[in-house]
Structure 1
Amino acid sequence: MPNPTRRDALRWSAAAAGAALLAPALTACTTDPGQPAPTDPGGPEDPDRRLRAEIGRSESGLVDLYAAAAAALGASDGAAVALVGERHKAYRQAIDPDDLASLPPSALATAEGSASTSPPPTASPSSTPTLPSSRAGIVATLLDAEQAAAASRATQCVSAVDPELARVVALAGAGCAGAAAMLEAMAS
């Protein structure tokens, strides 16, 4: 075999570098036979389908509550409250992008027919919440709702099978706790 030239050495180095860069990409495209295949979030195989629907219903209720409160509070307080309502819309979209909350509970079973490990869905709130007439009463109603939602999200994030869903639910819970702190400041 003839002696390799400098050009051959550079070509081999480039090929080795390319192979080193390509290996992780190829590995990421294959699944480990020991690991289950990823499921479509919200799809029929998603073990968190019921949980997504439950949280979606809860977040929709909060969105409706905030919309009613923003209209009742007027310009100054209403604007701050409306921003929190928008955050709940974002949480709902991130957790339940397929609008599973609108499906009847019987449609939420996984493809295997097994129930999810999450708690059963709660009753859907009315689309037009009834609020007290006073500012203090409205703020207290919002505060109670946020505190309850924060406590629920803490439990719900632990019951999520999908780690990404657990993370998003925990973030939504932290957002609820932050909104509760804002409402406590508004109440004083």
Structure 2
Amino acid sequence: MKLFIDTCNWKLILILKDQEKVIDSLIMHDTKKVSDIALSTITMLLSKNNLKIKDIKEFYLTNGPGSYTGVRVGLTIVKTLKTLNNQIKVYLINSLAFQASNDKAISILDARGNKYYIGVYEKQNALIKETVVNLEELEEIKNTYKSFIIKQDNESLDYIETFNLLENKFTLVNEIEKILPLYIKNFI
């Protein structure tokens, strides 16, 4: 059994999958208190499907960038579970790459304060590594990559379709110490 968790960007997204079939999913918007509800919501989703946390053998997570607390929530839950059972598998992908999907895309997430997390991808290959830019720099990037789709703040993102498409693009992380958040710091 597999569980996808995204807590990075003011949403709680859970996708439960058995082999190649999505069993259930849950998308909660505007979860500024994701740390208060994530574990109980995961438990509820599993219980609804007659499962326990021990039935999940593979965890797929976004590891940021995003809200500082949100990025840590999903990672902390899974890191704790891996500490208790080192046999579980943990796979990571960054939020910008996930949003870009397999498209030729400029992936943008609001970093607050008139700053933006961005990555430019072509079929999951990063042409511009994930960074933080101001509005002027963002416009320059858009002008440079005019033929690319703009994907911003997960608007219209079909999480299930994207997870199914990118599942094999997540990176397996075997060591607990390497289950790390992607924090992008830039002093602009």
* TM-score normalised to structure 1 length: 0.27
Q: Please say which structure displays the higher CA radius of gyration.
A: 1
More strand by share: 2
Give the structure with the higher percent helix: 1
